[in-house]
């Protein structure tokens, strides 16, 4: 019997991955540990969950493109330029013509209750439409990664649903990164309905235990197991408990790598991007998730998000000098 991970890996080989959703500008007070209200110096970088995942894939040497939208201003141009410099194909990053604006995130670099504020009123990335989806050559893709925030508002939600339809016709696997952000949704009930529905449609749902609990209305582990029994590859992350791989009626457990964290965010993006790029190279899902865990550990030990995503060589070096540990976390 061919496992879901094997089918996904076969389709990924030699084909680009498309990531769908938010890319924006991240801003960090300097030096590290400075509170926003005390800052006199700021540094910036491209960010956003989808942008970070795309950068992570690019840094592994796998071709990747982003489907998103940016505003027609300096911030939007900064985002597309920066993504291109990281190696992300931005041909499907559209420029909005309305009042939408590229999102901004202000994030403190500390593990001591960091203030992370995302400014997303009339966010440009949520302006992608089904017409933008139809402009994508889905048959040429190895996989599509949809992040949860891309489903939080229209017309982006309909664009994602259209992509899933096109992917089904083309036999292209779809990954759902649940990535639940309460402030992005009208209500938890709406998020539960939309995200649970999409999780049932895709070939690879990915989330942590709290996210699966949310979309299941409780009993998230059973919900995830049910998705696997229905033919999906499920990555069930548990923070300090590592990650369980559920597929084909069985499961495998992958631990985490112990590091001194500089900040608590960016790990999930590094984890997913590295896992997908590694899976495309053919070593199998357990090896891919192990490298994803290593990438997550590296990412939380560095400032920023996109710039914190490690290269393949950096992951190799890290894994040579660090042993896997089942009692520390870096994949939330």
Give the model confidence (pLDDT) of 164-223 as tens digits. 999 999 999 999 999 999 999 999 999 999 999 999 999 999 999 999 999 999 999 999
- Give residue 133's pLDDT: 98
Show the tokens assigned to 231.
Answer: 């033919």
Question: 208 or 97: whose pLDDT is higher?
Answer: 208
pLDDT band at 326 (very low <50, low <70, confident <90, very high): low
Q: What are phi and psi of 16, to 5 degrees?
A: -70, 155
Neighbours of 14 (CB within 10 A): 9
* β-pair partners for 64: 17
- Architecture per CATH, 4-23+48-99+124-325: 3-Layer(aba) Sandwich (3.40)
Say whether pLDDT at 247 is over 90.
Answer: yes
The percent of residues in the chain predicted with pLDDT above 90, rounded, is 95
- Give residue 96's pLDDT: 95
- Give residue 329's pLDDT: 43
Say whether pLDDT at 112 is over 60.
Answer: yes
Say whether pLDDT at 331 is over 80.
Answer: no
CA-wise closest residue to 29 among 119, 115, 117, 109: 109
Any idea which of 201-205, 299-303, 307-311, 328-332 has the lowest mean pLDDT?
A: 328-332
Helix (H, G, I), strand (E, B) or coil at 237: strand
Average pLDDT for residues 60-71, to the nearest whole number?
98
pLDDT band at 161 (very low <50, low <70, confident <90, very high): very high
Neighbours of 323 (CB within 10 A): 8
Residues 234 and 261 sit within 8 Å (Cβ to Cβ): no
Give this prediction's pTM. 0.96
Say whether pLDDT at 57 is over 70.
Answer: yes
Say whether pLDDT at 328 is over 80.
Answer: no
Give the C-alpha separation, 326 to 164, whole Å. 35
- Give residue 148's pLDDT: 97
pLDDT band at 1 (very low <50, low <70, confident <90, very high): confident
Which residue carries 């990412």 as its tokens?
A: 299
Average pLDDT for residues 266-275, to the nearest whole number?
97
pLDDT band at 240 (very low <50, low <70, confident <90, very high): confident
Domain boundaries, the chain: 4-23+48-99+124-325
**In whole numbers, what is the pLDDT of the chain averaged over residues?**
95
């Amino acid at each position: 019997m061919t496992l879901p991970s094997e089918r996904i890996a076969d389709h990924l080989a030699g084909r680009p991955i498309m990531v769908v959703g938010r890319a924006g500008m991240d801003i960090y007070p300097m030096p590290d540990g400075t509170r926003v209200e005390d800052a006199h110096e700021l540094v910036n970088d491209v960010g956003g969950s989808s942008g970070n995942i795309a950068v992570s894939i690019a840094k592994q040497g796998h071709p990747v493109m982003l489907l998103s939208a940016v505003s027609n201003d300096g911030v939007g141009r900064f985002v597309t330029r920066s993504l291109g410099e990281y190696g992300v194909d931005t041909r499907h990053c559209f420029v909005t013509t309305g009042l939408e604006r590229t999102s901004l995130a202000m994030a403190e670099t500390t593990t001591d209750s960091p203030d992370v504020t995302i400014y997303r009123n009339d966010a440009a990335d949520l302006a992608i439409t089904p017409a933008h989806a139809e402009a994508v050559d889905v048959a040429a893709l190895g996989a599509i990664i949809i992040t949860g925030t891309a489903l939080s508002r229209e017309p982006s939600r309909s664009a994602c649903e259209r992509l899933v339809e096109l992917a089904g016709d083309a036999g292209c696997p779809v990954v759902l990164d649940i990535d639940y952000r309460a402030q992005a949704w009208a209500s938890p009930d709406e998020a539960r309905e939309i995200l649970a529905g999409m999780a049932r449609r895709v070939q690879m749902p990915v989330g942590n235990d709290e996210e699966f609990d949310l979309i299941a209305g409780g009993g998230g582990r059973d919900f995830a197991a049910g998705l696997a029994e229905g033919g999906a590859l499920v990555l069930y992350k548990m923070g300090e408990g590592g990650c369980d791989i559920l597929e084909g009626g069985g499961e495998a457990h992958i631990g985490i790598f112990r590091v001194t964290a500089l900040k608590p965010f960016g790990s999930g993006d590094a984890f997913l991007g590295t896992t997908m790029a590694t899976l495309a190279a053919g070593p199998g899902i357990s090896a891919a998730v192990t490298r994803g865990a290593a990438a997550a550990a590296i990412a939380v030990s560095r400032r920023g998000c996109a710039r914190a995503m490690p290269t393949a060589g950096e992951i190799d070096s890290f894994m040579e000098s660090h042993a896997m540990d089942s009692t520390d976390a870096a994949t939330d």
